[in-house]
Structure 1
Amino acid sequence: MLLAPTIIAMLIVVAYPIAVSIFQSLFTDSSGIDPKTGLFTKGGFVGVQNYLNWLLQQCQIGGKSQACPAGSPQAGFWNSVFVTFLFAVVTVALETVIGIWMAFIMNRDFRGRGILRAAVLVPWAIPTAVTAKLWYFIFDPSGVLNTVLHTQILWTSDLWASRWAIIIADTWKTTPFMALLILAGLQLIPEETYEAARMDGASKIQTFFRITVPLLKPALVVAILFRTLDALRMYDLPAILTGGGGGGGQGTTTLSILVVQQIKQSNDSASALSTITFILIFAVAFIFIRLLGANITGNAEKQRKAVAKEA
């Protein structure tokens, strides 16, 4: 009974939209002349045809499935999948490494630690749209970065330069989020555990890998999982910074950008694409947790005792 309000709210804001999207994806709202009968049709039930169109990069032309012309949303589907996972893997990896480094610094006891922690939050607090415009001016051909590096790199139009521009901007913005979550995990580790390790003659490297990493694992898994799911849904940063372009095509078009582009053309096809995107993200989250074997709800006290016993 206590959980009922939360469950009802989740059903309304999550389950219902997903169900409607899946239902719409099984129909087509396209209308025209049926080439077989010569009659005007208004669309109808098509089953999984909308999904096949995306996965096989096909378009319905003259009532027949044909290879989509270059530049169409369906033709760029697998490219968008690659771009989405590229951004997710590279940005999360960089944010994790830098976030751990920042968390260890903020966990030390020194004068001005509170000011430093507040300052670290600034990039995360800035709205993504503002961040995108800020970095747009930095990456301008005559902007700050090219001026400092004495280069003429087209950061927002060249294929790989535009991709790295988005990776750099996203890493700058979201690393503080990772650092603060990791810092919270570090502060849960009792100092007595480290004192016992030092008394037993453990080196700093042994202490890090035998004590810090195992006890930090639940917080680290949560941080990486949240950021991975967020990166897989990336839309606003590349949409504003590069418009989804780069390299004269769809070099920075993520799945979310592709969904928005398709909504402007066909709701049923966009529903199929959004469902595919949802399934991909759900699969990544499921595999992620299963492979790491981490209890993200965490029984921290039990884990601390296990590590202390091993030490």
Structure 2
Amino acid sequence: MLKNKSAYALIAPALAVLAVVIGYPIIRAIWLSFQADKHLDPDTGMFVEGGFAGMQHYLYWLTQRCMTPSGEIGTCPPGVISTDFWPAVRITLFFAVVTVVLETILGMWMATVMNRDFKGRGLLRAAVLIPWAIPTAVTAKLWQFIFADHGIVNSLLGTSVGWTTDPWAARFAVIIADVWKTTPFMALLILAGLQMIPKDVYEAARVDGASSWQIFTRITLPLVKPALMVAVLFRTLDALRMYDLPVILISASSNSPTATISQLVVEDMRQGHFNSASALSTLIFLLIFFVAFVMIKFLGADVSAKEGR
């Protein structure tokens, strides 16, 4: 009992700091999401303070519900940022699924190669991490140059694809740039899991006559699954809040073909709508929490690395 009290006393300062640094912004954002913005009172013609708004901001995003100048509730007209919400959700989920799948496949392949014993393995591991170490803004500018109208890609392929203007080409440009940058992160986490597998297991499988494919599917994949699922979890959560890469590489506009939901939050704040931006931030938080819960509860992404739960 005394040891437990000592442990609580030691971790209490850290928990207090985390509560302030992490807990307060979340609570503040949720509180702001239920407050109305300053608005024009139709009776007096004067701007008044917000007050309690209930679910108004959430309905603004989810159902594109706006208040007309006459004070009536109606559907938001084209050009209002809330009309870009569902397209941004679809684009965000599309980016998350495609990039995570590609990065998992490539990361597994790269980790398998780096796990072998060969001359120069340390140099290869260091070189692989370079794209991940480069700041995202630099990565975006680099790929913007590569995907320019007269850039490297079009010159090599002999094409004239508008990689930064055509909607689907722009989306694939973002995916390619993101996969190039973050695949080393996946490979690093998977490599850590591969190195935990005893070499004796592989030797026993080879003695029993198992093929390379059987060894991979029946030994490597099951034993590396905990590390693999944690890598997928971290990368999925990161992809769901993607912002800087599509903004710098393609466009910062909320109706851009590569606009993500995080991009809408920043754009809404730039327009001075901090309360509705807080509501959207809360929706993003709930989305990420739901995805994390599903992956941990049902898909085996157990970050505690303990079996039998």
TM range (shorter): over 0.9
1:111 and 1:196 map into 2 onto residues whose CA distance is 25
CA RMSD of aligned residues (A): 1.8
In structure 2, the CA distance between the partners of 1:110 and 1:20, relative to structure 1 (3 Å rule), is same
How many residues align? The count is: 299
Q: Percent identity?
A: 57
1:73-128 superposed Cα distances (whole Å, 9 cap, x missing partner): 10000001001111110001000000011111111111111111110011001000
Name 1:130's counterpart in structure 2.
Answer: 138
SS of 2:247's equivalent in the other structure is helix
What amino acid does structure 2 have at the position aligned with 1:6? A
1:264 and 1:152 map into 2 onto residues whose CA distance is 35
Bigger drift between 83-92 and 192-201 goes to: 192-201
Q: How does 1:29-44 map to 2 (within 5 A)?
A: 29-35=37-43, 41-44=48-51
> Structure 1 length as normaliser, TM-score?
0.92
Quick one: which of 246, 260, 266 aligns to 1:260? Answer: 266
> Structure 2 length as normaliser, TM-score?
0.92
What amino acid does structure 1 have at the position aligned with 2:302? N
Q: How does 1:155-234 map to 2 (within 5 A)?
A: 155-234=163-242
1:215 and 1:8 map into 2 onto residues whose CA distance is 37
What amino acid does structure 2 have at the position aligned with 1:18? I
SS of 2:129's equivalent in the other structure is helix
Quick one: which of 259, 267, 282 aligns to 1:275? Answer: 282
Name 1:85's counterpart in structure 2.
Answer: 93
Name 1:288's counterpart in structure 2.
Answer: 295
In structure 2, the CA distance between the partners of 1:38 and 1:135, relative to structure 1 (3 Å rule), is closer
1:213 and 1:46 map into 2 onto residues whose CA distance is 51
Quick one: which of 118, 125, 131 aligns to 1:117? Answer: 125
1:23-69 superposed Cα distances (whole Å, 9 cap, x missing partner): 0110112221235x766532211111110110001222222222222
Unaligned runs of 5+ in 1: 303-311
Q: How does 1:68-83 map to 2 (within 5 A)?
A: 68-83=76-91
1:119 and 1:206 map into 2 onto residues whose CA distance is 30
Shift of 1:22: 0.5
Name 1:306's counterpart in structure 2.
Answer: none
What amino acid does structure 1 have at the position aligned with 2:38? S
What amino acid does structure 1 have at the position aligned with 2:62? L
* Contact 2:131/2:184 (8 A) holds in 1: yes
Shift of 1:71: 2.6
In structure 2, the CA distance between the partners of 1:256 and 1:34, relative to structure 1 (3 Å rule), is same
